[in-house]
Structure 1
Amino acid sequence: MPLPFLTADRAFDPADDVALPYDDRDRWRRPYRPGPWRVGAAAVLLLLASFVLFSSVIIAATATPASAATVFAFALVIVVAALRLLRMGVWVSARGLRHVAFVSTRTTAWDQVVSVRTVQQPVRWLGLPRTVQGQALTLHRRGRSAEAPSPLLTSHNADFLGRDPLAFDRAADTVEAWASEYGRA
């Protein structure tokens, strides 16, 4: 069964003449594949959910239906968390740029984007408080000049840590190409 949120629509080929090789540009898409840390964490959560679901079946057979429903609801929360973890990242379409975090989603229309650029700066390692020197793809929005630019992607987040360093460069270049095409940044 194909899972469209796990794969990029097309493999990166530097020989392509087209910077945005997608036919349907109105559809939201992630221009890179989820990284091994993100997929591994989601797999562990789904494994945990399977054990919790199994325990809810045992509880349903031996205890009250209310306690089985509570455990089943907890398993559903774990599954939803795993799916949300897989959807996290940067999504682009002809309408704008969408930054999906674990509990929030921020969509910025292309006419509100001033620039999208890659910068060297201290970045958070796997989203934890520890920072390391790395690269970040930052978004500068119109009307928010006093605000620090928000990082969309970093070279040390769950999508790019442990991968070829060129994977971050390709993803950043693709998002920058979308910004230059639609945002005129």
Structure 2
Amino acid sequence: MPLPFLTADRVFDAADDVPLPHEDRDTWRRPYRPGPWRVGAAALALLLASFVLFAAVIIAATAELTSAGLVFVLALLVIAGALRLLRMGVWVSARGLRHVGFLTTRTAPWAQVVSVRTVQQPVRWLGLPRTLQGQALLLVRRGQAADGVPPLLTTHNADFLGRTEAFERAADAVGAWADEYGPR
């Protein structure tokens, strides 16, 4: 079963000289691959879910079905969390830019985007409270102050920790989408 949210388009890697190598630009797509930290955390969550599902089967065979149902629902919640973790990140299309978080999703139409730029600033390490000096990709919308804008991508998040070249390539791709579809 193909999981399109796991992979960026393979055409992007093959055609580095073409900034927007997509035929269907109305489809939401991530312009980069998810990082090893994000994929590893989701894999561990799915491994935990498999054990919980196995426990649900054992409970169903030996105890009450209501207990097994509760454990089964817990496993489904862990699976849903792992899939949402894999879906997190920045998505682009001809309609705008979408920043998908674990619990929230914010979409900015290209007409509202003033600038997409990379800045040096303190960034969170893997989303934890600890901050380090790094690069961040910022999206400034029309009518929004440039100060205090939450970053779209950072060099120390789960997708780009230890992969600065991948961060630069992703920032360039998001910038190319902004140049192509942003206000003139």
- Contact preservation (8 Å) 1:12, 1:170: no
Percent of pairs with identical residues = 73
- Paired residue secondary structure (1:150): coil
Would the aligned equivalents of 2:15 and 2:21 in 1 still touch at CA under 8 Å? no
Task: Give the letter aligned to residue 86 of structure 2.
Answer: L
Gaps (5+ residues) in structure 2?
none
Q: Which runs of 5+ in 1 are unaligned?
A: none
- Match for residue 81 of structure 2? 81
1:2-21 matched pairs, under 5 angstroms:
2-10=2-10, 11-13=12-14, 15-16=16-17, 18-21=18-21
Distance 1:66 1:154, change over 3 A: same
Give aligned pairs, total: 183
In structure 1, the partner of 2:24 is: 24
TM, length-normalised to structure 1: 0.95
Question: For residues 78 and 174 of structure 1, what CA distance do their matches in structure 2 show?
Answer: 32
**TM-score (normalizing by structure 2):** 0.95
Look up the match of 1:49: 49
* CA spacing shift, 1:160–1:146, aligned 2, 3 Å: closer
RMSD: 1.3
Shift in Å at residue 4 of structure 1?
1.0
Instruction: Give the Cα separation in 2 of the matches to 1:150 and 1:74.
Output: 32
Does the CA contact (< 8 Å) of 1:90 and 1:153 recur in 2?
A: yes
Q: Does the 8 Å contact 1:140/1:150 carry over to 2?
A: no
Shift of 1:162: 2.8
| Residue 19 of structure 1, CA deviation | 1.5
- In the other structure, the counterpart of 1:181 is 180
Tell me how far apart the structure 2 counterparts of residues 82 and 137 of structure 1 sit (CA, whole Å): 25
